[in-house]
A and B are shown apart, each in its own frame.
Chain A
Amino acid sequence: MTGRWRWPWRALREAGILGMNERNFSYIKAENPRRLFPLVDDKAKTKQLAAKAGIAFPELYGLISSDAEVRTFQKIIEGKQKFVVKPAHGSGGNGILVIRSVRNGRYFRANGTFLDELGMEHHLSNILSGMYSLGGRPDQVLIERCVEFDPIFDEVTFQGVPDIRTIVYRGYPVAAMVRLPTRRSDGKANLHQGAVGAGIDLKTGRTTHAIMAGQPVTHHPDTGHVLAGIQIPGWRNLLTLAAHCWDVVPLGYLGVDIVLDRDYGPLVLELNARPGLAIQMANRRGLRPALARVQALPRVPTTAEQRAAFAMGEGELPVAAVAEAEDARSTSG
């Protein structure tokens, strides 16, 4: 307790907390044109676009678009022990199956349970029928490479795949957190389901605070390891990758989920047009000041590297770019 009472409204404003209404109205509605939503809602499309722009994604093994194609599943996974099955329109990590090994027609999941052939077919049909898609529309199934995640998070992860969520505003990373699966979240990196969210200092790439189920935590509930102070390797590359996603999908308020692969480095898992607000709690810092800082910038052509550098606190934008933009403005005006 700080002793001095403040009105909750003022306290939240002073802390720069972004509320749900403001996020919906001033950011999602104002910055994210609806026509771009299909690009992120459909992971198959996102992958195509990203591949063109040279953004690293987990390799796509195959795509199933109809019940008739379910038969091709065996061919797609032929000779593969590890893979991931996910709905193209899924959200919140629902409907994703991480298969770690295949033995005697049984698919063993990361959490130790298994599915038989029939169960897998049922799952594929469920995805196709739209069970995990927004609004229940017919969906597609992606089968992709299972990420061999970097051991950096091993001590603070209970099964599943930890990922790094970055909020990219007008191309500039403004906040980041790492999402660590727990027993409670069933191996999913989804804060709503009980995963741990640990805020990351954008300057250094080191974890700071953490929350679980909306409450501050200091240790991982299952592994017992301290959550703060983990240094993420290749932080600048990761931020640049996140910023680069905006060049492909120009959503003003974009959530980028990145995993760290042991062999391939940072890979983009998916993009999100409606990233949540819990990231503020994980960082113990509101988004509004960072958003305002970006809003004050001139809208000039920049590179992902420049924007990542700006996010890491390395001064203002390159002077040349600013000067160029002002020249352009004065000649046109």
Chain B
Amino acid sequence: MKKRSIYLAAFAIAAIGIAMFLVKLDRLGLPLTPNQDTAVWTIEARARFEAKGGPLTARLEIPAAPLGFEILDEDFISSNYGVTTEREDLKRTSIWTVRRAKGKQSVYYRMSVVEADSVKQHTDAFPGFPDRPEREEAFDSAIEALLEKVRNESADITSFTGALIRRVNKLEGDSAVGLLNDGEVTASRRALQLVDILASARIPARVVWGISLEDEVRNAPLVPYVEVHNQSVWLPFDPLTGGKGYPDGFLIWYIGSNPLLDLEGAKNGEVHFAVARTLREMVDVAAQRAQKGDSMWFDFSLFALPIQTQNVYRVLLTVPLGAFLVVLLRGFVGIKTFGTFMPVLIALAFRETELWVGILLFVTIVGLGLWIRFLLERLQLLLVPRLAAVLTIVVLLMLTISIVSFHLGMDTGISVALFPMVILAMTIERMSLVWEETGGRDAITQGAGSLLVASACYLVVSNAYLAHLSYVFPELLLVVLAAAIVLGRYTGYRLLEFWRFRSVWLGRGDAS
């Protein structure tokens, strides 16, 4: 029963860890694998105009909450201008004002966005049925005739709008269409026309302006779409083809029939869009996004710490994994080591030196240290002074190896300085004691065992995937904790005990 409550506790701990992990995975969009990059788009809107000399106000429409994207960051860049923003539902305007300006002026708005996986449909409320626009009699009746035809070949608002767009864009035929196509046909003109015609059919419609995101575009055009409301959502249509829906990578800039840039006290305004795509680590993006959203999860997580501290934890958070491996190798396999968690510390040093070089350096230092330790034995020093002497020798050995390998042009040798020297000194001391007490064979066996466990730990702590998981999702360490609790009750045989007691199961023990 006691055993069951321990399993229950372990299960609860693991469940908490996994639950926190899943919530974080879902809410924050943190990546499961390391070095996952995500595309961050930077869009720069540059408004240029000529100031007339007096007070100036420039109003630029900017995205409020673009569908399918999340704004990570934004900047308003201008010299001498005061900047404010106005927001009303899906409409946001940046207002630059200055008391006096003359000549060519430029103001910039820059934003970086990241694609989010939400549905690309506006769901704001039904705006009410529009009034029928006033028109010239002849034009009005032509429109009515057009609408009548379209009505006949459609079933609902979606098919009606589609049919209307196709008909309007047909070059020959209809008289009404002929009137509409007088002069140059541009997408923006067509979009505004469509909103007007749809109003005659009492269907609420609006123009939506956006940019197709493509890398390295210096002058991206503002593309119009027409949205009609079908009493539940806004349905987007391409005004030239009648195609439904927004294409991928379409960033909605603003909604409405008003101009993009509205100037007072200036003239000849024009706006250019430049788009660039950069790759950034998903973790950073998630962190930035969460900071904007004031997420509690981030405030109380590693990412709120200074970068240096974060880097320390990047290493420290892998230590429990190494310790868990030591539990397995000692308790289940039965490998003997010097010190319980000394192999983990050695493994951390291997991280810096890389495995083979690390093993070579370790063996070199411990070997030389042991030899000198035996020479010291003749001086018959007491325990603490002898330890200090060994420590001094270890430091000198490390220095010598660094200098020699540097002159030989082997950079890796320098990294010997990263070994925990106290650990090395203790290893030498313990190894020499075992050597004296139970012979060189035992000392070397245990030394090799330590090195083996350290190497295995190195494979764990240096595994980029595991390091990433423990760093981004430290709560997963609760699962490790739970596993350690469960395994802590293991009373079965160790793997190496099958070897130790081999005479029993090989049958030799039964004789006489």
Interface residue ranges, A against B (CB under 8 Å): 1-3, 6, 8-9, 11-12, 15, 17, 19-22, 25-26, 92, 94, 118-119, 122, 125-126, 129-131, 136, 190, 192-194, 214-216, 280-281, 284, 286
Report A-chain residues with C-beta under 8 Å of the C-beta of B509.
Answer: 15, 216, 284
Given A12-B498, A194-B439: 19 more A-B contacts, CB < 8 Å: A2-B510, A8-B498, A11-B504, A15-B504, A17-B497, A17-B501, A20-B334, A21-B490, A21-B491, A22-B491, A92-B438, A119-B380, A126-B382, A129-B382, A129-B384, A216-B508, A216-B509, A280-B501, A281-B503
In the complex, 21 of the A-B residue pairs with CB atoms within 8 angstroms, ordered by the A residue number, are: A1-B507, A3-B507, A6-B505, A8-B502, A9-B492, A9-B493, A15-B509, A17-B493, A17-B504, A20-B334, A21-B491, A21-B492, A22-B492, A92-B438, A119-B380, A131-B433, A193-B439, A214-B500, A216-B509, A284-B503, A284-B509
Which residue of the partner chain, among B492, B494, B505, contacts A15 with CB atoms under 8 Å?
B505
A20-B497, A21-B493 known; A216 vs B503 contact (CB < 8 Å): yes
A19 to chain B, nearest CB (A): 4
Residues of B464-512 at the interface with A, using a CB-CB cut-off of 8 Å, are 489-494, 497-498, 500-510
A280 to chain B, nearest CB (A): 7
Task: Using CB atoms, name the residue of chain B closest to A13.
Answer: B493
The answer for the CA separation of A118 and B508 in the assembled complex, in Å, is 51
B241 to chain A, nearest CB (A): 72
Residue B117 CB within 8 A of the other chain: no
Residue B383 CB within 8 A of the other chain: yes
Report B-chain residues with C-beta under 8 Å of the C-beta of A192.
Answer: 438, 442
A21-B491, A129-B382, A136-B383 known; A12 vs B501 contact (CB < 8 Å): yes
Query: Which 10 A-B pairs give the minimum distances between C-beta atoms?
Result: A11-B505, A2-B507, A22-B491, A8-B498, A19-B493, A129-B383, A122-B380, A15-B504, A284-B509, A25-B491
Task: Using CB atoms, name the residue of chain B closest to A211.
Answer: B503
The answer for the CA separation of A15 and B504 in the assembled complex, in Å, is 7
Report B-chain residues with C-beta under 8 Å of the C-beta of A15.
Answer: 501, 504-505, 509
A25 touches B489 (CB 8 A): yes
Residue B178 CB within 8 A of the other chain: no
The answer for the CA separation of A109 and B507 in the assembled complex, in Å, is 42
Residue B256 CB within 8 A of the other chain: no
A277 to chain B, nearest CB (A): 8
Report A-chain residues with C-beta under 8 Å of the C-beta of B510.
Answer: 2, 284
The answer for the CA separation of A192 and B436 in the assembled complex, in Å, is 12
The answer for the CA separation of A141 and B189 in the assembled complex, in Å, is 104
The answer for the CA separation of A75 and B436 in the assembled complex, in Å, is 31
Tally of chain B residues near chain A (CB < 8 A)? 30
A19 touches B492 (CB 8 A): yes
Residue B31 CB within 8 A of the other chain: no
The answer for the CA separation of A80 and B370 in the assembled complex, in Å, is 38
A2 to chain B, nearest CB (A): 4
Task: Using CB atoms, name the residue of chain A closest to B334.
Answer: A20
Report B-chain residues with C-beta under 8 Å of the C-beta of A26.
Answer: 491
B504 touches A19 (CB 8 A): no
Residue B437 CB within 8 A of the other chain: yes
Report A-chain residues with C-beta under 8 Å of the C-beta of B442.
Answer: 192
Which residue of the partner chain, among A20, A25, A92, A284, contacts B494 with CB atoms under 8 Å?
A20
Task: Using CB atoms, name the residue of chain B closest to A26.
Answer: B491
Report A-chain residues with C-beta under 8 Å of the C-beta of B507.
Answer: 1-3
Residues of B123-181 at the interface with A, using a CB-CB cut-off of 8 Å, are none
B383 touches A8 (CB 8 A): no
Task: Using CB atoms, name the residue of chain B closest to A9.
Answer: B493
Report A-chain residues with C-beta under 8 Å of the C-beta of B501.
Answer: 12, 15, 17, 280-281
Report A-chain residues with C-beta under 8 Å of the C-beta of B438.
Answer: 92, 190, 192-193
The answer for the CA separation of A122 and B489 in the assembled complex, in Å, is 44
Report A-chain residues with C-beta under 8 Å of the C-beta of B383.
Answer: 126, 129-131, 136
Report B-chain residues with C-beta under 8 Å of the C-beta of A1.
Answer: 506-507
Report B-chain residues with C-beta under 8 Å of the C-beta of A216.
Answer: 503, 508-509
Report A-chain residues with C-beta under 8 Å of the C-beta of B491.
Answer: 19, 21-22, 25-26
Residues of B186-230 at the interface with A, using a CB-CB cut-off of 8 Å, are none
A12 touches B437 (CB 8 A): no
Report B-chain residues with C-beta under 8 Å of the C-beta of A119.
Answer: 380
Residue B331 CB within 8 A of the other chain: yes
The answer for the CA separation of A292 and B453 in the assembled complex, in Å, is 35
Q: Which of A11, A25, A94, A136 has the most CB of B within 10 A?
A: A11
Report B-chain residues with C-beta under 8 Å of the C-beta of A214.
Answer: 500
Task: Using CB atoms, name the residue of chain A closest to B491.
Answer: A22
Report A-chain residues with C-beta under 8 Å of the C-beta of B493.
Answer: 8-9, 12, 17, 19, 21
A70 to chain B, nearest CB (A): 12
Q: Which of A8, A136, A190 has the most CB of B within 10 A?
A: A8
Report B-chain residues with C-beta under 8 Å of the C-beta of A94.
Answer: 437
Task: Using CB atoms, name the residue of chain B closest to A283.
Answer: B509
